[in-house]
Structure 1
Amino acid sequence: MKFASLTTLLMGSTVLVGSVAVASAQDVTLTIESWRNDDLAIWQEQLIPAFEEANPGINVVFSPSAPTEYNAALNAKLDAGSAGDLITCRPFDASLELFNKGQLADLSDLPGMENFSDVAKSAWQTDDGSATFCVPMASVIHGFIYNKDAFEELGLEVPQTEEEFFAVLDKIKEDGTYIPMAMGTKDLWEAATMGYQNIGPNYWKGEEGRLALIQGEQKLTDPQWVEPYETLARWSDYLGDGFEAQSYPDSQNLFTLGRAAIYPAGSWEISVFNEQADFEMGAFPPPVKAEGDTCYISDHTDIAIGLNAASPNAEAAKTFLSWVASPEFAKIYANALPGFFSLSSTPVEMEDPLAKEFVSWRGQCESTIRSTYQILSRGTPNLENETWVASANVINGTETPEEAAQRLQEGLESWYEPQQK
């Protein structure tokens, strides 16, 4: 009887503790800070309901800022102590700075983090890899999206080499029905992100060149870093009239309205283009320099999510973050946002045909990330921002490839010690 009474007492206390836990959990609302305001509906209609159904008592609010305002707004909120519980993380240095300031928590031991490779986690780790501070969500892949109807109409084959690529552009230009390629230089970043960082890895051999630059073993004035600018300079003949004043939205519209045949792209365009274009689309990776060359793609670690170190709801937030690390989240996210490819070690079956095409290149080409994102843009002048300017200038013809490379190299040498030897 005493045993029974003790068991009953223990059971009663467990129930009581459980009731208290549930009652307190019901009061928890987590807020997510993000720059991705275009996927608000996906969070509200798919991701958050799936989590809340499995985790009653934890409510989640997705509260994005405009992309161009996010960094400044987030920093101000974190400094003021008013930021949300969950912080959507930019890759590499921007988030590392927040961690070093003590504003992002160390998530190295978070359940679910074992679902990611070291490469997937590297964009949100300390330089020595000892701490991981954001859960990887997705990468984006660079390449070219093309109008299949236009290609069929003009009898064009998808180019494999640069020679074939320019031959295709020449044929489109000669026909005159379509602008060969939709890209402008007004917004600067477009020229670098969809231009230089898109085709460049085939020249500097992806990670081999990127890491050699970080280690000071290669310079931006070396041929493999200058040649992509020489190729970009040739693009100006195919971008249509007034490309210098053409904004990023202008470029998107030119392509989706069927006025341009090729769009230098990031895979993030897929969901928008699927909605807006009334023609069938295909995609091809950056053409290699010569037949038989190894191909390289920019498979750029793009987005993750971390824990505000000052959050009063840390335990509930960690529950959410472990769910973000799960195969369930990966499957929902990757298919709800085709073109944002899961970084989970668990393969995700893609449903969108264009997304399938992009992700298939991982099996054909060597993957790398944008050359300027890790370490090399921590100083002033900022190499990422300067690469935007250089790429636009070279396409506009206001700076030669050699002049652009020399200016970038001098800027990097001015503050980055490994480049000073």
Structure 2
Amino acid sequence: MKHIMMKTTATAALCLAAGGALAQEVTLTIESWRAEDQAIWDDTLIPAFEESHPDINLEFTPTAPTEYNAALNARLEGGTAGDLITCRSFDGSLPLFQRGQLADISDLEGLSNFPDFAKAAWSTDDGESTFCVPMASVIHGFIYNADAFDELGLEEPQTVEEFFAVLDAIKADGTYIPLAMGSADQWEAATMAYTNIGPNYWKGEEGRQALIEGEAKFTDEEFVAPYEQMARWSDYMGSAYQAQSYSDSQNLFTLGRAAIYPAGSWEITGFSDQAFFEMGAFPPPVPAEGDTCYISDHTDIGIGMNADTDHPEAARTFLEWVASAEFAALYTNALPGFFSLSNAEFEVENPLAQEFISFREECESTVRVASQILSRGEPNTWNTMWVNSANVLNDTMTPQEAAADLQQGLESWYEPQQD
């Protein structure tokens, strides 16, 4: 809390210098794509900040997720955007900084509370400038019906071999669909399958950085192997999974018809409200006993300052608060499944969220493999990964074909992969 004390002392000094006059009250508006968080901001976060900063008012003014990028760009260009900008990670926000629309906040004291991998999501490629404070990540793994596991005498699998033994046991019993997973919407195949289990094969950041540097290719075994595992999933995904949407999969699981859900931690709040059974979670099983575990601990959301705000000092005061231990605890517990990236220690209240965040104690963290640099050209690597991952699940593309297509697309525009 040292930085807050320093701010308070500085504020007091300014007031004395001005003859004790109160600072002018200002209102800061916050741009965001997470309209579903309105109540969290209105009922928890804003009151907590305003209590300790009575001269700064906050207004949370979100836009629908599908409209956010276009609407934000238009407001920034027209000079009507909010003072504070909620930031998508990596290339989702870097262009805003490059156009001078997000301020450089590299000297913000609170940034020292975050590990380098967290700040990298909102920094320039060379790491010289940071333009958003990390707010939260989402962690990937598997959510399971703990009642079903107890009923069938199953335990959380640690290795891939144990994972398929569990799936076989669930399938043989016949009461539950083993995996609540469909391929109709495609993005889940890349997000909750390939980049969920993949880091265990390509060793997290080691493999991701090797792709960026041109020292590894998608056709290397460590990038093909996750697809080889996924090709086996179709035997456990239930009938007509090719037509099964994301919401269908959610419903299958929360209605108790499926035993395991390949998951992102953002499901925690909805599942906790809807499921009538006890749930547990386990990280992606490792290829072999004794292997290091890696998780997709994906830097998802940050917040920065509009370079044209009329209230830069107030905006920086708010960003310092976002970087504090107080905010880390409030945000993580108000929105279970979105985990602060801060080094601060605090108690996580939701039991399922506790399980997900505990993965960090046993596994190394990484981010989605194509999220930084590798999807800047055409064909877009991340979008291709959606299609190819779904095709592998649908058995319309072999693991080798999916990997070769990713590599061919990347090589067509990314110079480090052309050597």
The letter for the 2-side match of 1:54 is S
Equivalent position of 1:5 in the other structure? none
1:56–1:203 distance in 2 versus 1, CA, 3 Å: same
Partners in 1 of 2:140 and 2:301 — Cα distance?
15
Equivalent position of 1:6 in the other structure? none
Q: Give the ranges of 4+ consecutive aligned residues of structure 1 lying more than 6 Å apart after TM superposition.
A: none
Task: Report how far residue 16 of structure 1 moved.
Answer: 5.4
The letter for the 2-side match of 1:180 is P
Q: Deviations over 1:289-334 (max 9, x none)?
A: 1111111111111111000111122221111111111111111011
Equivalent position of 2:153 in the other structure? 155
Partners in 1 of 2:72 and 2:134 — Cα distance?
19
After TM superposition, list the pairs within 5 Å mapping 1:379-390 onto structure 2: 379-390=377-388
Partners in 1 of 2:20 and 2:188 — Cα distance?
53
The letter for the 1-side match of 2:194 is Y
Equivalent position of 1:359 in the other structure? 357
Partners in 1 of 2:31 and 2:294 — Cα distance?
33
Task: Report how far residue 123 of structure 1 moved.
Answer: 0.7
Bigger radius of gyration among the two: 1
Partners in 2 of 1:132 and 1:17 — Cα distance?
36
The letter for the 2-side match of 1:417 is E
Equivalent position of 1:331 in the other structure? 329
After TM superposition, list the pairs within 5 Å mapping 1:181-330 onto structure 2: 181-330=179-328
> Tell me, what secondary structure is at the counterpart of 2:302?
strand
Aligned partner (choices 83, 90, 94) of residue 92 of structure 2: 94
Task: Report how far residue 119 of structure 1 moved.
Answer: 2.0
Task: Report how far residue 156 of structure 1 moved.
Answer: 1.2
Task: Report how far residue 76 of structure 1 moved.
Answer: 2.0
Q: Deviations over 1:240-265 (max 9, x none)?
A: 12222222122111111111100001
The range that moved more, 397-406 or 200-209, is: 397-406
Partners in 1 of 2:46 and 2:176 — Cα distance?
42
The letter for the 2-side match of 1:275 is D
Partners in 1 of 2:19 and 2:42 — Cα distance?
32
Partners in 2 of 1:249 and 1:30 — Cα distance?
36
Partners in 2 of 1:117 and 1:156 — Cα distance?
37
> Tell me, what secondary structure is at the counterpart of 1:124?
coil
RMSD: 1.5
Equivalent position of 1:8 in the other structure? none
Partners in 1 of 2:270 and 2:311 — Cα distance?
35
Q: Percent identity?
A: 71
Q: Deviations over 1:21-78 (max 9, x none)?
A: 53x32xx221111112222211110000101111112211111122222222222221
The letter for the 1-side match of 2:223 is W
After TM superposition, list the pairs within 5 Å mapping 1:66-77 onto structure 2: 66-77=64-75
The normalised TM-score by structure 2 is 0.94
Task: Report how far residue 15 of structure 1 moved.
Answer: 7.5
1:18–1:395 distance in 2 versus 1, CA, 3 Å: farther
Which runs of 5 or more residues in structure 1 are unaligned? 1-10
Partners in 1 of 2:144 and 2:213 — Cα distance?
37
Which runs of 5 or more residues in structure 2 are unaligned? 1-12
Partners in 2 of 1:182 and 1:71 — Cα distance?
31
> Tell me, what secondary structure is at the counterpart of 1:112?
helix
The normalised TM-score by structure 1 is 0.93
Equivalent position of 1:408 in the other structure? 406
Partners in 2 of 1:184 and 1:33 — Cα distance?
33
The letter for the 2-side match of 1:140 is V
Equivalent position of 1:29 in the other structure? 27
